[in-house]
Chains A and B, each alone.
Chain A
Amino acid sequence: MLGVVYAMVAVGFTLYFGVLDVINFSHADVLTAGAFVSLVAYRGLSAAGIELPFAVLGLMLVAGVAGMAALGMVIAKFFVLPLRYAPPFITLLMTLMIGTAIREAIRLFYPSGSNAQSFPALLPKTAYHWGNLLVREDTLILIATGFAVIVLVSLFINRTRLGLAIRAVAQDGETARIMGIHFEWIVLLVFALGSALAALAGVMNGLYYNEISFSTGLRLGIIGFCAAVVGGLGNMYGAIIGGFLFALLQTLSVVAMPSLSAYKDVFAFAAIILLMVIKPTGLIGEAVSERV
């Protein structure tokens, strides 16, 4: 389950990096914002008296996903695109600051935002016994959704014309432009897609843990970025593998050393560094080259 969320975040990072060569540190905070927007939608719907779980869930998702897609496009249009000729560090810093701004805005403007907020349990939590394992129904649903989404995104990128346009821009923005592909729209599209993905991951995260917090983004962002890097930045399958690998490492470290479970992030992270030392461009390899 963890792996699915990590993988989704990682895929998002990969999208941004692949297309614009940009590390988008606001990705994870958009995830949090998406979760909060759908929480607000839920509150609104409850206040309006609508109770049907599927309707509520659906509307929440729409609110979160659409809201974040819009936010993503705003970020792209006003903050990232203007900086595309500046050194990459500037864009990195910019997205980091945007992420911080979003995070702080949530903390400051959402009522008692510093505290974790309870997220409605809208998915059935009945547990099934499968041999020795205890499996919850919502876990299954979420994992299935996560996989489906990842597969869909992958298909979109690799099998559709629009996806082809995205890949063309990722390869060589200038040439793509000459070929008639509208660079700006593609960038906006990618940001919208990535942000929608983030919102979805945020809502899924909230549904599973029944709680969200303004700081969820930071932690998930770091992990997602690690996962994307381990798989090889720009490489979508690598990102997916990276996400699951990270979750695996965390689980392993908790299982192997239960007394040090508080350190699980540190351990998984140290393992990732080791991996990067051995294979600096990631498990599958980075999709970049520089003209000399």
Chain B
Amino acid sequence: MSDDIVLGCRRLAMRFHGLTALDDLDLDVRRGEMLGLIGPNGSGKTTFFNVVTGIYRASAGEIRFESRDITHSSPQAIYRAGIARTFQRSRLCLPLTIFDNIMIGNHRRLDQGLWFNLFQRGKLRRQFASSWDEARELLMTFNKALGAQLANAAGSVNMIDRRRIEVCRALVGRPKLLLLDEPSAGMTHEETNELMDDILAIRQRIPHLTIVVIEHGMTVIERITDRCIVLNYGRKLCDGTYAEVASNPDVQQAYLGKS
């Protein structure tokens, strides 16, 4: 696996009781790029994320991350290897504080031992204090006002702030690869633009971070991605910059049907 490929899939397949969601998929993600993953509904984009993050077990094929085979790894192992994600349907723990929600994503950098947590309260307090500052800083890069609300319940903020919290949760663990699943789902144009600004800002702050984003809005894709891959019926249809992909007749047909 060449050095500039951070995630590579070969002949990846995912079948559910007769439904083939991913079909012989070959896909490479290059280091440091912002890759857009697009395609009509049901083309397998979220399924792809789920297979990569270990929630589904691939039916066939292989996935390599940083030249390590993660095809059958557990979600926990994949997280530890450095892949983090957000979910299409916002999956925050709404009854918990915003701080709690972010720190859930920091699992591998926090001390999780029973002895530490129960009996070394002084050390825990210090780790807590520095984590608090870190979470606040991270939040404030998205929204200055949010930083002050760390102690409030995640359910008390609006949709776009919740998405930001999700992204923070994914980022706090310092992943090498970030998977964003339709981050702008359910948002207005203004909110989407705001969020995209945030995502571009992430790239500024963390230049070596590789990001794959699933989106439906073509203007969004055009604006933020370096490269796009189009999926259709679980297969790769096309691969190139947005301009190349948008003008491809097969892609147009997949989205709009035969004209």
Find out whether A and B make contact in their complex, taking CB atoms under 8 A apart as touching. yes
Does A256 interact with chain B (Cβ within 8 Å)? no
Residues from chain A with Cβ under 8 Å of B55 in the complex:
292
Q: How far is the CA of A292 from the CA of B55 in the complex (A)?
A: 8
Does A291 interact with chain B (Cβ within 8 Å)? yes
Q: Which residues of B contact A (CB under 8 A)?
A: 46, 50, 55-56, 87, 89
**B91's closest neighbor in chain A, by CB?**
A292
Interface string of A262-292 (1 = CB under 8 A from B): 0000000000000000000000000000011
Secondary structure type dominating chain B contacts: loop
Residues from chain B with Cβ under 8 Å of A291 in the complex:
89
Measured CB to CB, the closest approach of chain A to B88, in angstroms, equals 8
Q: Which 6 pairs from chain A and chain B are nearest by CB?
A: A292-B50, A292-B55, A291-B89, A292-B46, A292-B87, A292-B56
**A285's closest neighbor in chain B, by CB?**
B17
Q: How many residues of A contact B (CB 8 A)?
A: 2
Residues from chain B with Cβ under 8 Å of A292 in the complex:
46, 50, 55-56, 87
Measured CB to CB, the closest approach of chain B to A1, in angstroms, equals 37
Q: How far is the CA of A291 from the CA of B21 in the complex (A)?
A: 14
Residues from chain A with Cβ under 8 Å of B50 in the complex:
292
**A291's closest neighbor in chain B, by CB?**
B89
Q: How far is the CA of A282 from the CA of B87 in the complex (A)?
A: 30
Measured CB to CB, the closest approach of chain A to B93, in angstroms, equals 12
**A290's closest neighbor in chain B, by CB?**
B55
Q: How far is the CA of A140 from the CA of B55 in the complex (A)?
A: 50
6 contacts between A and B (CB under 8 A): A291-B89, A292-B46, A292-B50, A292-B55, A292-B56, A292-B87
Residues from chain A with Cβ under 8 Å of B56 in the complex:
292
Residues from chain A with Cβ under 8 Å of B87 in the complex:
292
Residues from chain A with Cβ under 8 Å of B89 in the complex:
291
Q: How far is the CA of A223 from the CA of B191 in the complex (A)?
A: 54
Q: How far is the CA of A292 from the CA of B87 in the complex (A)?
A: 8
Q: How far is the CA of A292 from the CA of B44 in the complex (A)?
A: 13
Q: How far is the CA of A174 from the CA of B202 in the complex (A)?
A: 38
Q: How far is the CA of A291 from the CA of B56 in the complex (A)?
A: 11
Q: How far is the CA of A78 from the CA of B89 in the complex (A)?
A: 31
Q: How far is the CA of A291 from the CA of B46 in the complex (A)?
A: 10
